[in-house]
Amino acid sequence: MSKRPLYLFLIIMMIAIAPGCSDRLDLEESTNNLALGLDLDNENNLLIYLHSPSYGRDIKKKTLEIEVKSQTIRQSREEQDQFAPGVITGKKVQVILIGKRILAHEDWFPILDVFFRDMKNPLTPRVIAFDGSISDIIDLHPKDQPMLPLLLRGMVDTKSTRSETVKTTLQKLHWQMYEKGVTPSISEIQLGNDKQIRLVGITLLDHKGKYTASLSAEETILLQILNKNAKKPVSLSLPIPGQKKSGPFHTDHLSISVQGTKPKIKTSYTDNKFRFDINIKMTASLTERLFPFDVRKNGKELEIMISEHVQMQFENLIKMLQKHQIDPIGLGLYARAHEYSQYKKVEDHWGEALSEADIHVSVKVILGSMGPLK
């Protein structure tokens, strides 16, 4: 039997495998960037930050931070290489930190083009807004905590499962920026006076990527319920009107754990404007009650009180979104699906059309459990 086919097969395999090894980079020769920071200085020059682990038995400082002033992210790579012990790679980027100075400008998003054009760059980094100078957090070395990129990624991932923030990856942000029926939202962190990192909720952007408003963790939960992205269960603490406080204690509050939500959004177009009727049915458990109330006897009355207060919170949130002409709920997607001809007329200025829309919310809370105590 001739061995020529076998030799020919081996030669073809070697030719096919060889190009895959041509750009091989050994770990000891690379500098893996885990966090990318973007900011502007006082003269509006683009500042780009790198945060990378340092390897070595005798190295006391386990991370390397590099700051360069550059015109583009790709151009900064060569400048950062001048300070790094190895060749800088962006394959392992976990988080992208964006300073509020950048978000104060429109049309900043194209500076991230290299991530979508160069296939070696990942599309899964969590995008996070930072209310402050990026250098303050990049140079932070919290003791007894994970490395900064891993800490931030962990905070975003765990808090998003509780609907207290959003897990917006670079790929998802790209979709939000170019989808006309929705506006972007990203996680937001702050640095307290005690130098502790706090994940405070989310940052809301307009269609051009400009900062418009911030939502607290509880407001973020309400938004996640509206856009049907709420991970259950979610917790809400509410002040109940008519209940008295006792000294410095907020004894007028109660808390519920929402086990399931069923938002239904009905879309129509009347009187030259859009109308959205949002009906929300929530099944919840009573987890905390700080004021005297006979829950077993007057459970229906308590359900009505909770429903009215939650409805008021939803209405206040929607009014704020309309005021800023933004749509993180994605009502534009419903308008396009159900009133396509009318939506096409206003899709290029959907925020303005949404601000003039009639949006009605009705909430019904059903207490399925009141706890073991009377």
| pLDDT tens digit sequence for 81-136 | 777 776 767 688 999 999 999 999 999 999 999 999 988 888 999 999 998 999 99
Q: Output the six-digit token pair for 125.
A: 């980094």
What is the percentage of the chain residues whose pLDDT exceeds 90? 62
Query: pTM (2 decimals)?
Result: 0.88
Confidence of residue 57 (pLDDT cuts 50, 70, 90): low
The whole-number pLDDT of residue 141 equals: 80
Separation between Cα atoms, residue 89 and residue 118, nearest integer Å: 12
DSSP assignments along 227-263, one per residue: TT-PPSSEEEEEEPTTPPPBTTB-TTEEEEEEEEEEE
Which residue ranges form the domains of the chain, and what is each CATH number?
28-215 (no CATH), 219-374 (3.30.300.210)
Separation between Cα atoms, residue 111 and residue 131, nearest integer Å: 20
Contact call for residues 231 and 301 (beta carbons, < 8 A): no
Contact call for residues 50 and 137 (beta carbons, < 8 A): no
Separation between Cα atoms, residue 86 and residue 29, nearest integer Å: 5
Separation between Cα atoms, residue 123 and residue 259, nearest integer Å: 32
Tens of pLDDT, residue by residue over 219-278, are 999 999 999 999 778 999 988 877 777 777 777 788 999 988 889 999 999 999 999 999
Confidence of residue 309 (pLDDT cuts 50, 70, 90): very high
Contact call for residues 147 and 34 (beta carbons, < 8 A): yes
Calculate mean pLDDT across residues 208-224.
96
State the Cα torsion 169-172-177-181 to the nearest 10°. Answer: -140
Separation between Cα atoms, residue 170 and residue 96, nearest integer Å: 8
**Which of 181-185, 262-266, 288-292 is modeled with the greatest confidence?**
181-185
Separation between Cα atoms, residue 151 and residue 79, nearest integer Å: 27
Cross-strand pairs, 246: 249
Contact partners, residue 119, CB within 8 Å, separation at least 6:
none
Sign of CA pseudo-dihedral 125, 126, 132, 136: negative
Sign of CA pseudo-dihedral 174, 177, 180, 181: positive
Cis peptide before 233 (omega within 30 of 0): yes
Regarding predicted confidence, which is higher, 315 or 294? 315
Separation between Cα atoms, residue 342 and residue 334, nearest integer Å: 12
Contact partners, residue 31, CB within 8 Å, separation at least 6:
50, 52, 64, 84, 85, 86, 87, 88, 89
Separation between Cα atoms, residue 194 and residue 191, nearest integer Å: 8
